[in-house]
C-alpha cells in the first residue's frame, strides 16, 4: 500500500497564489498601457520593455549571485515593479537611465530588505524618486502626446500640474485654466505626463477589475482620492483664485496611478481596514500639502513613501476588531 | 425569515457534498472492535473489564473518572481480547479495549424498537444523570461530555439552547442525513436537552445548502418554542461562537464560553443521542459517519459501531481508490490526517475523507507578501501572519497578548494564503506553548 | 565675515564646555556603583551569550558569579574548566573542575532500521510534527529529523545527515550548552560525559514501548530485555520503563554491554576497529 501523506489541517487550499495575484495586477494595467502606447508611441514601448527586462534581470542576478538563494524572478513581482516604474517615467527618458532606475527599484527598494515581502518602501517609487533626484532635468521634461515615432527626440513640456503651479505664482486659477488641457483630455489621457499616469479613465477601469478579482479592496484608493478631493475642495472654496478645483487635482499628476497601484502595494501598506483608511487619509493630506504649499508640483510619490514608513507603526497600533470582549477570569 | 450569517471573516470552500441524499446504511458490527478509553475531552475513562471477559452491546467497559469525563460502552458483544495501547486518530497509541466480536447480543434494558417515545417526564437532574451513564459527548467533533455542558455554573443563567445543524465542513453529510431521516427523534432530543438545561427557547441553525433539512425541521418544530433558522453558506458557520453570533447577535467573550451569554450549543447528532439515551436507554455505541472522496466509488453515510476500523468502512464504500494519498478523519478544513486505515471510529468521527494524490500535498511555501487575506478571513479577528511570525521566533508571550488563545483552529487562514504558508501549524504550536506558560504561571 | 566665524566658534565652544561640565556632574551624582570585578569576570567569559550557563547572557552570568558565595551550580559549558579557573582567580576562589560533557543523539532510527510508513507534509519543524503524530517512522519516541536541534545551535555543532535523517554532533564544536537538548520535543538528545578521544557508549534508544511493539517499529530499538544490565560489571546500567540507561559517569567503557545487546541498540563510537569486529562476531554468533 502507498504511504499516506500526513499533515496538520486544513487539507484544502484555494487556487489563489502569488503569481496569480501579480499577473492579475499586470492584466489590470493593460488598458493604461494601451492608452499610453497610443499617446506616446515607440518611446513608451522602449521604456516599458527596458524597465521590465532590467527589473527581472537584476532580481535574478542579485538573488543568484549576491544573496545566493533560489531565484524567484519569474513570480510576477519583478515584472510588476518594472511595469509600474515605466509608468512613472517620461517616455523620452534614455534607456540607460531606465536601467539605473530598475536597479534602484529592485536592488535598493526590494532586495536590500531581504526580497519579496520584506521591503518597507514601494520599490517602483524608490526607483522613481532615485531617478527624480539624480536626473531632475530628464525627469521633468514630459513629451507631448501624439509623437508616435519619437523617442529621446520628442518635443517636451510641463505637466498640467507643473503649469498650474508655476502659473499661479502670477495669475489666478481662472486665468490658468485655458492653458491646461480640458477635463475630457485629462480623463482620457491626452496630456503631458509620465507614461502611465495620463489616462485617469484607464486607471480607474484597472481599479474596478482589481476590486472584482478581489486583489485590492476599496479602502486605500477611495480614501486617498476622497481625502484629496475634500482637502482641495476646502481650499478651493476658501479661495478659488489661488487654489485649483478638486476635479483638476484628481485628474492630474500621478495621483490616480499612485492611489490605485502604488499605495495599494501589499507589502508596504497596512494590514487592517481601519489602518488602510488612516494611511489613505495621510497620503491624501501630504499629497495636497506638497502640491499646493510645497516646492514640487507633484507630491504623491513622496506622500506614499512617507506613509510606507508609517505602515509598521500603523500595524502595531491598529489591530483588527477582535471577536468577543475580554473577560477577566478570577 | 431571511438568511443570517456571522459578521467577521469566513471563506467559501467548494462544498462537494458527494454523499448528500444518500440514505443512512446501518453497517453490521466488524470482526474485531477496538474501543479507546479516551474518546472525549477531559479525563480518560477507567477500564472496568479484563482480558477474557464477555461483554454485551451497551455494557459499560470503562467508567467516568472525574468531573469532566464520561462512560465508555462496548458497541459489540463478544470477548475482550486485550486491554492495551492501540494507534488511534491522535497519531499515537492510546489505551483501548479490543474485543473479538461474537454475535450481536444487546443489554436487555435497551429499547431497540423503532417506536418514537416522546415527552419525557424525567426532571433535569435525572436527564443529566442518564446522559452521563450513556456516555453522551458532543458529536460535532469536540466531544465535550454533554452532561457537564447541561450543568449551568453558579452565577450564570441559560436562556437559549442552540442546535448546530450547520455542517459547514465540505464533504460531510452525516448531520444532514440525520435531520432528513430522523427529524422526529432529533426534535424529541432537542426537547429533552431543553428540559435538561432548563430553558424555554431553542433555535436550530442549518446552512442554506440543505433546504430540504430546513423544511423538514421547520415542519417538525411547527407550533413549538423551537425555531429553525436558515444560515448563509459560509465556513466556519458551524463554529459555536460564530453560530451564537449569527443567530442571536451576541459575541461570546474572549476566553469565555457560550453560557456567558446565556446560551448552550449542541450538535444535532448529540440531540439524537440524547433522545436515545434518555428515552430508549441506549448508550452511545454507534454514530453516523460520512465516507466520501472524489475517487471513491460509493460516497455514503454509514451508521457504524464505535470501534469499527476505518478500513472496514472504506471497504463498504467501494474500496480504497488507487489514487488515494491522504485519509482524513473529519472534514477537509479541521479533520485529522490518519497514518493508516487501521484506526477505530470513535465518538467524534464525523467523516472519513479520501483525498487523491493530486490534491494531497501542499504547495511550495513563499514569503509572506502581507496581502491581508488571512486577516480578512479570520472569524475571530486575529492576525495569522503575525502569529506565525511570532511563533517561528518563539515569542510566545507576545502571542498571548495578540490573543492567540482565541483561535478556533478553523483553518480559514491557511486555506486562503496565496503563499501557501503553514499559518495554522505555527499558530497551534503557539497556542500549546502559551497554554504551558499560563499553567506555569498559575502554579506559582 | 570673520566676526561671524569668531562668534560661532565662541558659541559652540561655550555650549560644548557647559554640556561637558553638566554631564560630568550628573554622571558623578547618579553614578551606580558596580563592582569592577564584574567587568573583569565578563572579560574572561567567552562572550557567546548562548544561555548555556542558564543565565541570560555572559554579563548576567558574570554578575551572578561575583555576587554568589557558592559556585556549586555555576558553570560555563562553552568556556569550560579553563574559563572557570580564570574567573575563580579574579574572585580569589577555588575553581571546581567539572568533567566536560558533549551532546549525544540517542536515536539510531535510520530508514534502514526504522521503515518510513508515511510522508510528513506539514511545516518542517520537529515541534509541529511531534504534536501531530508519532512520526514518519511509527515509533513515538523516534527522531523526527526536521532539525529543531540544528536551528537552535549557536556553535554550528550539529546538522542533519541527509541519508539517515538523523542529527550528527560534531564533538569538537559542541560546547554542551544544552540548547539542542531543550529544543528536541522528544528529549532524544542528552548531555553525557565526554571521554578521552570522544569515545562514547550509550543506549541509542529512549523508547518506552513494550519489547514486541518496539522491535516492530525499529530493528535497533531497546526492547528492555535487561541483558546489558546483567552483564555490566560496574552497575552503570539501570532499567526503567522498558528501556536501559547507561550512566556516563559510572561507565568505564568496557563495552561488555555492546556485545550483549540483541538488537544492537547500544552504540560504541570512536573505538579502534579490531574490538568492534570482535563484538560483531559475538552478536553474529548470538543471532545464528
Residue B183 lies in a domain: yes
Check whether residue B410 and residue B435 sit in a common domain.
Answer: yes
CATH number where B225 lies: 3.40.50.11540
- Give the CATH number, domain containing residue B315: 3.10.20.600
Strand ranges in B275-365 using DSSP code E only, listed in sequence order: 286-292, 300-305, 324-329, 336-338, 351-356
Give pLDDT tens digits for A174-211: 777 777 777 777 777 777 777 667 788 889 999 999 99
Asked if C134 and C87 sit in the same domain, the reply is no
Cell of B220: 417538525
Q: Which chain B residues touch A217 with a CB distance below 8 Å?
A: 376
A11 lies within 8 A of chain C by CB:
no
Residues B276, B292: one domain? no
Residues B45 and B71 in one domain: yes
Last residue of a domain, one of B255, B280, B305: B280
CATH of residue B47's domain is 2.40.50
**Residue A40 banded pLDDT, cuts 50, 70, 90:** confident
pLDDT value of residue B32: 96
Residue of chain A nearest C135, judged by CA positions? A6
Alpha-carbon torsion B29, B30, B31, B33, what sign? negative
Peptide bond into C126 cis (omega under 30): no
Q: Burial-class residue B416 by CB neighbours within 10 Å (0-12, 13-18, 19+).
A: buried
Residue C5 belongs to a domain: no
Q: Are residues C275 and C189 in the same domain?
A: no
Query: What is residue B349's DSSP assignment?
Result: -
Q: What is the mean pLDDT of residues C26-30?
A: 91
- Distance, in angstroms, between B4 CA and closest chain A CA? 18
Last residue of some domain: C160, C194, C228?
Answer: C194
Task: Please report the pLDDT score of residue A195 as a whole number.
Answer: 67
pLDDT for residue A289 is more than 50: yes
Q: What cell was used for A240?
A: 478659488
Closest C-alpha among C62, C54, C109 to residue C267: C109
Asked whether residue A81 carries a pLDDT value surpassing 90, the answer given is yes
Judge: A115–B367 Cβ closer than 8 Å, yes or no: yes
The model's confidence at residue B367, banded by pLDDT at 50, 70 and 90, is very high
Q: Is B340 within a domain?
A: yes
In the structure, what pLDDT confidence band is assigned to residue A295 with cuts at 50, 70 and 90? Answer: confident
- The answer on B266 and B140 residing in a single domain is yes
Residue B5 domain flag: no
B neighbours by CB contacts (3+ pairs under 8 Å): A, C
Determine the Cα–Cα distance for residues C266 and C274; give it in Å rounded to an integer. Answer: 18
Contacts of C136 in chain A (CB under 8 A): 6
The answer to whether B150 and B264 are in contact (CB under 8 A) is yes
Q: How high is the pLDDT of residue C283?
A: 45
pTM: 0.90
The domain boundary residue, chosen from C175, C194, C213: C194
Distance (Å) from the C-alpha of residue B158 to the closest C-alpha of chain A?
Answer: 18
Q: CA of B369 to nearest chain C CA: how many angstroms apart?
A: 18
B123/B195 Cα distance (integer angstroms): 7
Structural domain harbouring C76: 36-91
Q: What is the pLDDT of residues B203-214, one digit of tens each?
A: 999 999 999 999
Contact B283, B73 (CB under 8 A): yes
The H or E element that residue B440 is part of is helix B423-443
Interface test with C, best of A4, A7, A9 (most C CBs within 10 A): A7
Q: Which of A307-311, B115-119, B219-223, B288-292 has the lowest mean pLDDT?
A: B115-119
B271 and B291, same domain (yes or no)? no
The per-residue pLDDT for C91 is 85
- pLDDT at position A245, please? 85
Tens digits of per-residue pLDDT, B12-30? 999 999 999 999 999 999 9
Q: What is the pLDDT of residue C79?
A: 84
Q: Residue C282's pLDDT band (boundaries 50, 70, 90)? A: very low
pLDDT band at A330 (very low <50, low <70, confident <90, very high): very low
The C-alpha angle B185, B188, B189, rounded to 5 degrees, equals 85
Same domain for B138 and B248: yes
Rounded Cα gap, residues A216 and A194, in angstroms: 24
Q: Cis bond leading into A10, ω under 30°?
A: yes
For residues B223 and B135, membership in a common domain is answered with yes
Would you state the pLDDT for residue C287?
Answer: 43
Q: Let me know if residue B21 belongs to a domain.
A: no
Mean pLDDT across A150-158: 74
- Give mean pLDDT, residues C1-23: 93
pLDDT exceeds cutoff 80 at A64: yes
Is C190 a residue whose pLDDT tops 90?
yes
Do B226 and B267 sit in the same domain of this protein? yes
Give the gap in angstroms from C-alpha B394 to the nearest C-alpha of chain C. 11
Q: Is residue C68, in this structure, part of any structural domain at all?
A: yes
Whether B112 maps to a domain, the answer reads no
Query: What's the mean per-residue pLDDT of chain B?
Result: 94
Q: Are residues B91 and B220 in the same domain?
A: no
In DSSP terms, B98 is beta-bridged to: B34, B82
Does residue B113 form part of some domain? no
> What is the CATH number for C131?
3.30.70.20
Containing structural domain, residue B155: 124-280
C142 contact residues in B (CB cutoff 8 A): none
Q: Is B246 left (phi over 0), alpha (psi -120 to 50) or beta?
A: alpha
CB contacts, 8 Å: C131 with chain B: 428-429, 432
pLDDT > 60? residue B327: yes
Cell of C230: 546483567
pLDDT of residue A328: 58
Residues B45 and B90: their CA atoms lie apart, in Å, by 16
Query: Alpha helices, DSSP H only, in chain C?
Result: 2-29, 36-44, 58-67, 80-91, 126-132, 148-152, 179-183, 211-217, 227-231, 256-260, 273-287
Interface test mutation site (partner B, options A1, A2, A3, A14, max chain B beta carbons within 10 A): A14
Same domain, B142 and B157: yes
Query: Mean per-residue pLDDT for B66-90?
Result: 94
- Let me know whether C199 and C284 are in one domain: yes
Share of chain B above pLDDT 70, in %: 100
Contact B102, B78 (CB under 8 A): yes
> Which A-chain residues 53-92 have CB contacts (< 8 A) with chain B?
72, 75, 77
pLDDT at C68 over 90: no
Same-domain check for residues C285 and C228? yes
Distances (CA, A) of C162 to A68, C111, C166, C179: 21, 11, 8, 22
Question: Is the pLDDT assigned to residue C285 strictly greater than 70?
Answer: no
Give percent above pLDDT 70 in chain A. Answer: 98
B164 Cβ contact partners less than 8 Å away, ≥ 6 residues apart: B140, B205, B238, B240, B243, B265, B266, B267, B268
Q: With contacts defined as CB-CB under 8 Å, which chain A residues touch C123?
A: 8
Least confident of A291-295, B241-245, B270-274, C7-11: A291-295
Q: What is the mean pLDDT of residues B78-91?
A: 94
Mean pLDDT across A6-18: 93
B206 domain residue, yes or no = yes
A62-66, A150-154, B413-417 — which is least confidently predicted?
A150-154
How far off is chain B from C139, nearest CA to CA, in Å? 9
* pLDDT, tens digit (0-9, with 9 covering 90-100), for B239-275: 999 999 999 999 999 989 999 999 999 999 999 999 9
Lowest mean pLDDT among A157-171, C26-40, C222-236: A157-171
pLDDT confidence tier of residue A327, bands split at 50, 70 and 90: low
Collapsed DSSP state (helix, strand, coil) of residue A323: coil
Mean pLDDT confidence for A105-110: 94
Instruction: Kindly tell me the burial class for residue B367, based on how many C-beta atoms sit within 10 Å of its own C-beta (0-12, 13-18, 19 or more).
Output: middle
pLDDT-based confidence at A91, cuts 50/70/90? confident
Query: Average pLDDT, stretch A66-82?
Result: 90
Instruction: Kindly state whether residues B422 and B320 are assigned to the same domain.
Output: no
Q: How many domains does chain C have?
A: 3
DSSP H helical ranges for B200-289: 211-221, 240-248, 268-280
When pLDDT is averaged across residues A65-91 and rounded to a whole number, the result is 90
Amino acid at each position: 500500500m502507498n504511504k499516506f501523506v500526513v499533515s496538520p489541517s486544513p487539507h484544502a487550499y484555494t487556487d489563489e497564489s502569488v503569481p496569480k495575484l501579480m499577473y492579475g495586477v499586470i492584466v489590470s494595467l493593460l488598458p493604461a498601457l494601451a492608452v499610453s502606447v497610443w499617446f506616446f508611441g515607440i518611446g513608451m514601448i522602449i521604456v516599458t520593455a527596458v524597465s521590465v527586462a532590467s527589473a527581472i534581470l537584476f532580481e535574478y542576478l542579485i538573488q543568484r549571485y549576491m544573496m545566493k538563494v533560489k531565484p524567484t524572478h519569474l513570480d510576477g513581482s519583478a515584472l510588476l515593479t518594472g511595469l509600474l516604474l515605466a509608468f512613472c517615467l517620461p517616455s523620452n527618458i534614455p534607456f540607460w537611465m531606465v536601467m539605473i532606475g530598475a536597479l534602484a527599484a529592485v536592488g535598493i527598494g526590494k532586495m536590500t530588505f531581504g526580497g519579496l515581502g520584506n521591503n518597507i518602501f514601494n520599490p517602483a517609487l524608490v526607483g522613481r524618486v532615485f531617478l527624480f533626484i539624480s536626473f531632475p532635468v530628464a525627469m521633468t521634461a514630459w513629451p507631448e502626446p501624439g509623437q508616435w515615432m519619437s523617442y529621446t527626440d520628442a518635443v517636451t513640456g510641463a505637466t498640467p500640474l507643473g503649469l498650474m503651479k508655476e502659473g499661479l505664482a502670477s495669475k489666478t486659477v481662472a486665468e490658468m485654466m485655458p492653458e491646461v488641457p480640458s477635463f475630457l483630455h485629462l480623463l482620457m489621457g491626452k496630456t503631458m505626463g509620465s507614461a502611465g499616469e495620463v489616462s485617469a479613465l484607464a486607471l480607474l477601469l484597472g481599479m474596478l477589475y482589481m476590486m472584482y478579482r478581489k486583489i485590492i479592496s476599496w479602502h486605500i484608493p477611495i480614501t486617498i482620492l476622497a481625502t484629496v478631493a475634500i482637502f482641495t475642495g476646502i481650499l478651493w472654496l476658501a479661495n478659488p483664485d489661488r487654489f485649483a478645483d478638486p476635479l483638476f487635482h484628481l485628474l492630474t499628476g500621478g495621483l490616480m496611478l499612485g492611489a490605485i497601484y502604488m499605495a495599494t502595494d501589499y507589502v508596504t501598506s497596512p494590514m487592517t481596514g481601519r489602518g488602510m483608511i488612516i494611511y489613505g487619509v495621510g497620503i491624501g493630506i501630504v499629497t495636497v500639502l506638497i502640491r499646493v504649499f510645497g516646492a514640487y508640483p507633484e507630491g504623491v510619490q513622496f506622500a506614499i513613501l512617507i506613509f510606507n514608513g508609517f505602515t509598521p507603526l500603523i500595524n502595531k497600533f491598529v489591530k483588527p476588531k477582535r471577536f468577543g470582549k475580554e473577560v477577566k477570569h478570577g | 425569515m431571511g438568511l443570517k450569517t456571522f459578521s467577521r471573516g469566513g471563506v467559501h470552500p467548494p462544498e462537494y457534498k458527494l454523499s448528500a441524499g444518500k440514505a443512512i446504511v446501518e453497517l453490521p458490527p466488524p470482526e474485531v472492535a477496538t474501543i479507546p478509553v479516551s474518546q472525549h475531552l477531559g479525563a480518560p475513562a477507567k477500564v472496568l473489564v479484563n482480558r477474557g471477559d464477555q461483554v454485551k452491546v451497551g455494557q459499560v467497559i470503562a467508567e467516568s473518572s472525574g468531573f469532566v469525563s464520561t462512560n465508555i460502552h462496548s458497541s459489540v458483544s463478544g470477548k475482550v481480547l486485550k486491554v492495551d495501547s492501540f494507534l488511534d486518530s491522535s497519531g499515537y497509541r492510546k489505551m483501548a479495549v479490543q474485543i473479538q466480536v461474537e454475535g450481536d447480543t444487546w443489554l436487555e434494558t435497551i429499547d431497540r424498537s423503532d417506536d418514537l417515545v416522546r415527552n419525557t417526564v424525567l426532571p433535569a437532574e435525572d436527564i443529566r444523570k442518564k446522559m452521563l451513564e450513556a456516555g453522551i459527548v458532543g458529536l460535532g467533533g469536540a466531544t465535550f461530555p454533554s452532561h457537564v455542558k447541561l450543568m449551568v455554573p453558579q452565577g450564570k443563567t441559560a436562556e437559549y439552547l442552540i442546535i448546530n445543524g450547520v455542517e459547514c465542513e465540505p464533504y460531510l453529510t452525516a448531520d444532514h442525513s440525520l435531520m432528513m431521516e430522523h427529524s422526529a427523534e432529533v426534535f424529541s432530543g432537542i426537547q429533552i436537552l431543553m428540559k435538561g438545561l432548563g430553558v424555554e427557547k431553542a433555535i436550530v441553525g442549518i446552512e442554506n445548502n440543505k433546504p430540504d433539512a430546513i423544511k423538514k425541521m421547520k415542519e417538525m418544530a411547527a407550533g413549538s418554542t423551537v425555531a429553525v433558522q436558515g444560515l448563509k453558506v459560509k465556513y466556519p458557520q458551524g463554529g459555536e461562537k460564530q453560530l451564537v453570533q449569527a443567530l442571536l447577535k451576541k459575541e461570546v467573550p474572549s476566553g469565555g464560553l457560550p453560557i456567558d451569554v446565556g446560551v448552550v450549543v449542541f450538535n444535532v447528532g448529540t440531540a439524537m443521542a440524547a433522545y436515545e439515551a434518555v428515552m430508549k436507554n441506549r448508550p452511545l455505541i454507534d454514530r453516523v459517519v460520512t465516507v466520501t472522496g472524489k475517487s471513491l466509488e460509493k460516497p455514503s453515510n454509514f451508521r457504524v459501531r464505535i470501534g469499527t476500523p476505518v478500513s472496514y468502512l472504506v471497504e463498504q464504500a467501494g474500496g480504497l481508490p488507487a489514487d488515494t494519498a491522504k485519509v482524513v478523519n473529519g472534514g477537509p478544513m479541521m479533520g485529522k490526517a490518519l497514518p493508516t486505515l487501521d484506526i477505530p471510529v470513535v465518538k467524534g468521527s464525523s467523516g472519513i475523507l479520501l483525498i487523491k494524490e493530486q490534491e494531497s500535498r501542499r504547495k511550495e511555501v513563499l514569503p509572506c507578501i502581507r496581502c491581508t487575506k488571512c486577516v480578512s478571513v479570520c472569524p475571530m479577528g486575529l492576525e495569522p501572519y503575525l502569529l506565525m511570525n511570532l511563533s517561528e521566533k518563539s515569542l510566545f508571550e507576545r502571542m498571548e497578548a495578540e490573543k492567540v488563545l482565541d483561535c478556533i483552529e478553523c483553518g480559514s487562514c491557511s486555506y486562503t494564503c496565496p503563499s501557501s504558508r503553514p499559518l495554522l501549524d505555527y499558530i497551534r504550536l503557539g497556542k500549546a506553548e502559551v497554554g504551558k506558560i499560563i499553567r506555569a504561571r498559575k502554579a506559582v | 565675515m570673520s566676526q561671524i566665524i569668531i562668534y560661532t566658534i565662541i558659541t559652540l565652544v561655550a555650549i560644548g564646555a557647559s554640556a561637558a561640565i553638566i554631564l560630568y556632574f550628573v554622571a558623578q551624582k547618579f553614578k551606580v556603583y558596580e563592582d569592577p570585578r564584574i567587568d573583569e569576570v565578563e572579560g574572561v567569559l567567552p562572550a557567546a551569550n548562548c544561555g548555556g550557563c542558564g543565565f541570560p547572557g555572559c554579563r548576567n552570568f558574570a554578575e551572578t558569579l561575583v555576587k554568589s558565595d557558592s559556585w556549586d551550580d555555576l558553570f560555563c559549558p562553552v568556556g569550560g574548566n579553563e574559563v572557570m579557573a580564570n574567573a575563580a582567580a579574579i574572585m580569589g576562589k577555588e575553581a571546581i573542575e567539572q568533567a566536560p560533557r558533549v551532546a549525544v543523539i540517542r536515536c539510531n532510527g535510520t530508514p534502514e532500521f526504522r521503515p518510513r510508513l508515511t510522508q510528513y507534509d506539514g511545516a518542517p519543524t520537529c515541534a509541529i510534527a511531534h504534536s501531530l503524530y508519532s512520526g514518519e517512522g511509527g515509533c513515538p519516541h523516534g527522531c523526527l529529523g526536521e532539525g529543531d536541534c540544528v536551528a537552535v545551535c549557536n556553535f554550528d555543532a550539529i546538522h542533519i545527515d541527509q541519508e539517515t535523517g538523523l542529527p550528527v554532533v560534531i564533538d569538537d564544536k559542541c560546547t554542551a550548552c544544552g540548547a539542542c537538548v531543550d529544543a528536541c520535543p522528544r528529549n532524544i538528545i542528552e548531555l553525557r560525559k565526554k571521554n578521552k578521544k570522544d569515545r562514547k557508549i550509550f543506549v541509542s534508544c529512549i523508547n518506552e514501548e513494550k519489547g514486541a511493539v518496539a522491535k516492530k517499529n525499529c530493528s535497533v530499538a531497546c526492547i528492555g530485555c535487561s541483558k546489558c544490565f546483567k552483564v555490566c560489571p560496574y552497575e552503570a546500567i539501570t532499567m526503567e520503563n522498558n528501556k536501559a540507561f547507561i550512566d556516563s559517569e559510572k561507565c568505564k567503557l568496557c563495552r561488555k554491554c555492546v556485545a550483549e545487546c540483541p538488537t544492537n541498540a547500544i552504540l560504541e563510537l570512536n573505538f579502534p576497529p579490531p574490538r568492534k569486529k570482535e563484538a560483531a562476531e559475538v552478536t553474529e554468533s548470538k543471532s545464528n
